[in-house]
């Protein structure tokens, strides 16, 4: 977001939703996958092995099921205490929320079904597969279950366990940023257990990782059709639909879900936000370029709209060249009047822009100075790139510091705002400086004075990092974060310097 602080030429921005939106999924979603994979040991003897009549298979992600009571469309991402729409949960967290056996936490790996002590033909391969699974050796488990299935291909317990082990490989592939492998594993798992919603949710997460949102939507639709009581499935599907600007379908999905889920208040809050935003955007005009879709209110903003698109294409080129990344998916930009902007984003008065998965900008009704508008747009577009590289896992000080740093590209000067930041920090007593560790979360609760200090520190620390190590190493850090590595560990891996030591060295520069 951009600030109306003391230095208008160096207006600040912050991304909304640094409070992790995905935390809303964790408690309920964990039961979804674990209810499938944390399988109780059977105490009843199973029926003699005979060909089972397959259950009617749900529509596969390649042929989505019928909509839930209404046509599906766009929806709102999972919300937090803020009214602004929140960005997607990082995929690793989503995988864990939906029940993946996190490799780093062996105790989270669920147990499998046994055939019971009275089974007519006890299967040592099944027992061996279960032991391998519990030990986290999922490929060994798959091989053991495959051997068992050669002898009894229709045994329900063996098919279930095979699906569980294969799905575990799928979640591991997602954590390793390998969507092709994840898709292959989840499709295999579905062949063995076609009525389990969590497998389709895993397939949807894999397609999200591969940036194939239409296929991800199909997979999540199948999951919702199979288990229409799980609130987190509606949230995930709604988030995807919302990002594709299918507002009517999102509202239909949430309205239907409220009648079915166990925690309707979560969907009610999302529905209220979506309805409020849609009421504004129904009368918006829209135009676009190859990379951006711009929605705006009325003809008075038309001239500004064209300037925004022109400047964003320049930012796409310049910031993209700096980082070596050019997103393929269309980026939505929404231009509001000031009142609409505050109503939708619920942000403090010092903000002049928000990136929360979409770029949101206020307009005072007049076209601002082009150089100032360019700085705002380069700033916001840098958030897009940081989000893309880190999967929304960068600490806010680094995210905002990079955004301020790249404001300078709008005028061909890097870094931007060096003098303004130095002057701002010079006015802050050393005791009033905010530790970087306290700047990992959202800045939206800060007063304008606190925000000014937070942005100045963020820029200063980021500039020091780039000057000392270079932008390619900072990009490497962002990519490390996308793999769910803790920040302090990723920092030390990339820079061969403990994070606390970096803070000490940087703060020493402020005193000199």
Q: pLDDT band at 45, cuts 50/70/90?
A: very low
8 A C-beta contact, residue 130 and residue 103:
no
Q: What would the mean pLDDT of 313-319 be, rounded to a whole number?
A: 96
Cβ pair 490, 477 in contact under 8 A: yes
| Mean pLDDT for the stretch of residues 414-420 | 60
Residue 311 zone, left/alpha/beta (φ > 0; ψ -120 to 50; rest): alpha
What is the rounded CA–CA span in Å between residue 167 and residue 184?
10
Q: Is 299 exposed, middle or buried (0-12, 13-18, 19+ CB in 10 A)?
A: exposed
Query: What's the Cα-to-Cα distance from 78 to each of 228, 312, 316, rounded to whole Å?
Result: 17, 27, 27
H or E element that contains 46? none
Collapse the DSSP code of 335 into the 3-class scheme (helix H, G, I; strand E, B; otherwise coil) and give the result. strand
| Sequence-distant (≥ 6) Cβ neighbours of residue 376 within 8 angstroms | 2, 11, 13, 352, 353, 361
Residue 359 near residue 54, CB atoms below 8 Å: no
Query: Which residue in this structure is represented by tokens 């596969």?
Result: 60
- Cβ atoms within 10 Å of 141's Cβ, excluding its own: 27
- Mean pLDDT within 267-285: 85
Distance separating alpha carbons of residues 178 and 173, to the nearest angstrom: 5
For residue 183, give both structure tokens: 């898709």
Asked if pLDDT for residue 220 goes beyond 90, the answer is yes
Residues of the chain with CATH 1.10.390.10: 283-511
N-to-C CA span, the chain: 30
pLDDT of residue 263: 86
Distance CA 477, CA 460 (A): 18
Where do runs of H (alpha helix) occur along 38-193? 91-97, 124-134, 138-151, 156-175, 179-192
- pLDDT average, residue stretch 309-320: 96
What pLDDT, on a 0 to 100 scale, did the predictor assign at position 482? 87
Distance (Å, whole) CA 512 – CA 508: 7
pLDDT-based confidence at residue 175 (cuts at 50, 70, 90): confident
pLDDT of residue 405 exceeding 80, the answer is yes
The whole-number average pLDDT for the span 317-339 is 92
Please give the CATH superfamily to which domain 23-275 belongs: Tetratricopeptide repeat domain (1.25.40.10)
Mean pLDDT of 200-226: 93
Query: What integer pLDDT is reported at residue 343 of this predicted model?
Result: 84
Decide if pLDDT at 8 tops 70.
Answer: no
Q: Which of 29-33, 180-184, 285-289, 354-358 has maximum average pLDDT? A: 180-184
pLDDT for res 69: 25
Q: 331-364 burial string, b = 16+ CB within 10 Å, else e?
A: bbbbbbbeebbbebbebbebbbbbbbbbbbbbbe
Question: Do residues 388 and 327 lie in contact, with contact meaning Cβ atoms separated by under 8 Å?
Answer: yes
Percent of the chain with pLDDT over 70: 72
Residue 251 has pLDDT above 80, yes or no: yes
- Cβ-based neighbours of 438, under 8 Å, separated by 6 or more: none
What's the pLDDT score for residue 244? 85
Q: What are phi and psi for residue 247, nearest 5 degrees?
A: -65, -45
- Kindly tell me if the per-residue pLDDT of 155 is higher than 80: yes
Average pLDDT over residues 9-28: 39
Note whether 117 and 171 are within 8 A (CB).
no
**CATH node for 283-511:** 1.10.390.10
Measured CA to CA, the distance from residue 310 to residue 256 in angstroms comes to 40
Strands (E), 431-495: none
Distances 198 to 16, 157, 190, 201, 261 between C-alpha atoms, Å: 29, 18, 10, 5, 16
Mean of per-residue pLDDT scores for the chain: 77
pLDDT per position as a tens digit, 438-496? 999 999 889 988 998 999 999 999 999 999 999 999 999 999 998 878 999 999 999 99
Q: Quick one: pLDDT band at residue 417, thresholds 50, 70, 90? A: low
pLDDT tens digits, residue range 80-136?
Answer: 222 222 222 222 233 333 333 332 222 233 345 555 555 545 578 898 999 999 999
Strand partners, 285: 296
Cα separation, 157 vs 381, in Å, equals 51
pLDDT at 247: 86
**Alpha helix (H) residue ranges in 176-246:** 179-192, 197-209, 213-226, 231-243
Q: What share of the chain is helix, strand, coil (3-state, %, to 5)?
A: 60, 5, 35
Q: 409 falls in which pLDDT band (50, 70, 90)? A: confident
Residues of the chain with CATH 1.25.40.10: 23-275
Report in angstroms the alpha-carbon separations of 427 from 419, 421, 452.
13, 10, 11
pLDDT at 72 over 70: no
The pLDDT, as a whole number, for residue 74 is 28
pLDDT for 27 equals 33
Q: What is the structure's pLDDT at 99? A: 36
CA–CA gap between residue 388 and residue 380 (Å, rounded): 13
State the pLDDT at residue 384: 96
Give the pLDDT score at 512: 67
Average pLDDT over residues 285-313: 87
Task: Give the three-state DSSP class for 277.
Answer: helix
């Amino acid at each position: 977001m951009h600030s109306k602080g003391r230095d208008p030429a160096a207006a600040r921005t912050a991304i909304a939703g640094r409070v992790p939106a995905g935390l809303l999924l964790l408690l309920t979603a964990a039961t979804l996958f674990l209810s499938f994979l944390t399988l109780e040991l059977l105490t009843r003897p199973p029926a003699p092995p005979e060909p089972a009549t397959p259950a009617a298979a749900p529509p596969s992600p390649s042929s989505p099921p019928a909509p839930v009571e209404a046509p599906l469309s766009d929806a709102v991402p999972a919300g937090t205490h803020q009214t602004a729409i929140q960005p997607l949960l990082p995929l690793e967290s989503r995988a864990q929320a939906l029940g993946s056996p996190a490799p780093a936490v062996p105790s989270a790996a669920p147990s499998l079904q046994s055939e019971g002590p009275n089974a007519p033909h006890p299967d040592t391969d099944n027992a061996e597969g279960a032991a391998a699974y519990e030990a986290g050796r999922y490929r060994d488990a798959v091989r053991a279950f495959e051997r068992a299935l050669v002898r009894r291909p229709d045994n329900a317990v063996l098919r279930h366990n095979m699906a569980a082990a294969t799905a575990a490989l799928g979640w591991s592939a997602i954590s390793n940023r390998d969507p092709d492998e994840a898709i292959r594993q989840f499709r295999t798992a579905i062949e063995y257990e076609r009525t389990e919603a969590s497998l389709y949710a895993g397939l949807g997460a894999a397609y999200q990782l591969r940036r194939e949102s239409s296929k991800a939507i199909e997979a999540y639709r199948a999951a919702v059709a199979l288990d229409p009581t799980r609130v987190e499935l509606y949230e995930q599907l709604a988030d995807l639909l919302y990002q594709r600007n299918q507002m009517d379908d999102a509202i239909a999905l949430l309205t239907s879900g409220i009648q079915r889920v166990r925690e309707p208040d979560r969907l009610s809050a999302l529905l209220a936000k979506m309805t409020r935003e849609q009421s504004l955007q129904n009368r918006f005009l829209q135009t676009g370029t190859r990379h951006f879709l711009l929605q705006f209110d009325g003809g008075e903003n038309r001239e500004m709209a064209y300037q925004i698109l022109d400047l964003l294409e320049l930012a796409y080129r310049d910031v993209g060249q700096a980082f070596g990344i050019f997103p393929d998916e269309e980026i939505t930009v929404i231009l509001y009047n000031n009142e609409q902007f505050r109503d939708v984003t619920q942000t403090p008065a010092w903000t002049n822009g928000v990136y929360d998965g979409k770029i949101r900008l206020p307009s005072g009704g007049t076209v601002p100075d082009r150089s100032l508008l360019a700085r705002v747009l380069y700033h916001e577009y840098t958030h897009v790139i940081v989000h893309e590289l880190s999967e929304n896992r960068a600490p806010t000080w680094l995210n905002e510091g990079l955004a301020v740093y790249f404001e300078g590209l709008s005028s061909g000067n890097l870094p931007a705002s060096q003098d303004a930041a130095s002057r701002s920090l010079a006015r802050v007593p050393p005791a009033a400086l905010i530790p970087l560790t306290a700047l990992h979360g959202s800045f939206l609760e800060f007063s304008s004075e606190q925000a000014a200090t937070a942005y100045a520190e963020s820029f200063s620390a980021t500039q020091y990092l780039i000057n000392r190590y270079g932008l390619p190493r900072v990009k490497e850090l962002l990519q490390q974060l996308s793999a769910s590595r803790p920040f302090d560990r990723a920092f030390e891996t990339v820079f061969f310097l403990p994070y606390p030591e970096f803070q000490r060295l940087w703060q020493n520069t402020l005193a000199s």
